Amino acid sequence: MQATESPAELTWPELAGWLRLQQADGVGLLTAHKLLECFGTPAAIFEASRAQLLEIVTPRQADALLSPLRARRADTPLAAAFGSSDAAAGSHGAALPAAGQGWVEAQLDAMLAWQAQPGHRLLPFGHPLYPEYLSQIVAAPLLLFVKGRLDLLANRAVAVVGSRNASRQGMLNAERMAQTLSDAGVTVVSGLALGIDAAAHLGGLSGPGGTVAVLGTGIDRIYPARNAALARRIAEEGCLISECALGTPPTRDNFPRRNRIISGLSRGVLVVEAAEKSGSLITARLAAGQGRDVYAVPGSIHATLSKGCHELIREGARLVESGADVLADMQLLADGQAGARAALDDSFVDRVLDAMGDDPVQADVLAEHLNQPAGELQGQLLALELAGLLERLPGGMFQRLRA
C-alpha cells in the first residue's frame, strides 16, 4: 500500500477519534476492527446511533463507545507524566469531556508534538502507508508510531529472532544471515533485544535491505538501555516502530504483544537460537498462525539454546543453515539480484573465483581488484553463494569453495 505522495499528517480531531476508540472500556482490538469494517473511520463510529452500534457490539460496549473519552487508568504513562487536571475546554477547537480532560489533552498534544518532528509519522490502520502485510493479521495495531525510513515498511521482510543470552557463534550466525537477506534487498525485522535481535539488526544495517526494530515500549523510550546507540543508528538508517503510547515503560505484557507485529510485518520468521521456553517461539508460532513461513537453525543436541529450534523443526519449521537457504525457499531474491544471477557467465565466474584465490577476502578488496562497483558486486557474490561456489564468512569476508 505504498502511496505515490505522502498523505498529510493526522489532525488533532482525527487523533482524538483513534485515541477514543483505543480507550473505550471493554472494546478490544477485534471489536475495534469489526467496527472499522462496518463504519470505516473512528469519526463515523462515534457518529453512529446506539441502535446501529448494537448490531455489532454488546450493550455495555455501545455505552462505552457513546461515553466521553477519558483516561482508562490513572497510571497511564502520559497521565502520570502530564497530570490529570481538568480544563474547561480543549485548545484545538474540539470539545472535551470534563472527566480526564487534562489527560486527554496532554496525550493528544504529546502525539501531535511527536508527529511534527522530522522523520516521525503516526500511521492509523487503513492509512495508505500502513504496512500491507501487518494489516492482514488478526488484531492489527490501530495506530503505529514510526520513526525513520517509511519505505522499509513496504519492503519485503523477514524476521530474525532468537535468544537474548545468545552464544557468540549464534550472534555471528544471526548477523551473517541477516546480512545475506539485506544484501538481497530484503528488510530484516527484529525486536531490539540483546543477543540475536541486536546481531540481526546489525546485519540488516550492513546491506540495502535495511532493518526495522519493533519496540515493546513507547517509541520515545529505548529498552534495553544497552542498545541505545543501536536504536539511534536504526532511527537514522532504518526504522523504529511501536504501537505503545508515548512514555510506555517496558512491562511483561508488552513484549508478547509486540511479537505479533514482528511476525506480522514479515513474510517469514527465522529463529537462530532459542531455549525451550523462549519468547522467540511465541513469535514463530504467531507467524505460523498468520500463514507465514517459519525457519529454524539447528544446533547440538546438547546445547540448551538449540532445544527451541529443534522443537520448532519437529513442529514443521524448515531447517536452514544460511540466509541463502531462506532466500531460496521463499524465492525472495530482489529483481535486480535475480537478474544479476541469471546474467552470470562462465568467464565472469572464473574471473571472480580466480581473483579470490583460496584465502578469505573482503568484498571491497575484491571489487577493487576486479575494477567493479562494490554495491554491484555484492549481488553477484550473493548469486555465487546461492550457486554453492563461495561462502560468506563473519566480518564481511568471502571464501571460495573447492569441489
Q: Distance between CA 355 and CA 349 in Å, rounded? A: 10
- Ranked by mean pLDDT, the top range of 81-90, 208-217, 394-403 is 208-217
Q: Give the model confidence (pLDDT) of 174-225 as tens digits.
A: 999 999 999 999 999 999 999 999 999 999 999 999 999 999 999 999 999 9
pLDDT of the residue at 375: 60
Answer yes or no: is pLDDT of 386 > 70. Answer: no
253 vs 201, more confident: 201
Cis peptide before 224 (omega within 30 of 0): yes
Q: Give the model confidence (pLDDT) of 334-365 as tens digits.
A: 444 444 444 455 677 788 888 888 888 888 88
Q: Distance between CA 102 and CA 80 in Å, rounded? A: 11
The answer to whether residues 60 and 31 touch, using CB atoms and an 8 Å cutoff, is no
pLDDT of the residue at 334: 47
Confidence of residue 95 (pLDDT cuts 50, 70, 90): very low
- The pair phi, psi for residue 395, each rounded to 5°, is 80, 15
What is the Rg, in whole angstroms, of the alpha carbon atoms belonging to the chain? 24
Q: Which residues of 307-320 are buried (b: 16+ CB within 10 A; e: fewer)?
A: bbbbbbbeeebbeb
- CATH level 3 topology of 335-400: Arc Repressor Mutant, subunit A (1.10.10)
Sign of the CA dihedral running 357, 358, 363, 364: negative
Place of cell 543436541: 301
Burial of 215 (0-12, 13-18, 19+ CB in 10 A): buried
Model pTM?
0.77
Mean pLDDT of 287-310: 93
CATH 1.10.10.10 domain extents, the chain? 335-400
pLDDT of the residue at 226: 96
**What does the DSSP assignment read for 20-73?**
HHHHSTT--HHHHHHHHHHHSSHHHHHHS-HHHHHTTS-HHHHHHHHSPP--S-
Q: Distance between CA 129 and CA 150 in Å, rounded? A: 8
CATH 3.40.50.450 domain extents, the chain? 150-330
Residue whose C-alpha is closest to residue 152's, from 204, 198, 197, 212? 212
CATH of region 150-330, choose from 3.40.47.10, 3.40.50.450, 3.20.20.70, 1.10.3720.10: 3.40.50.450
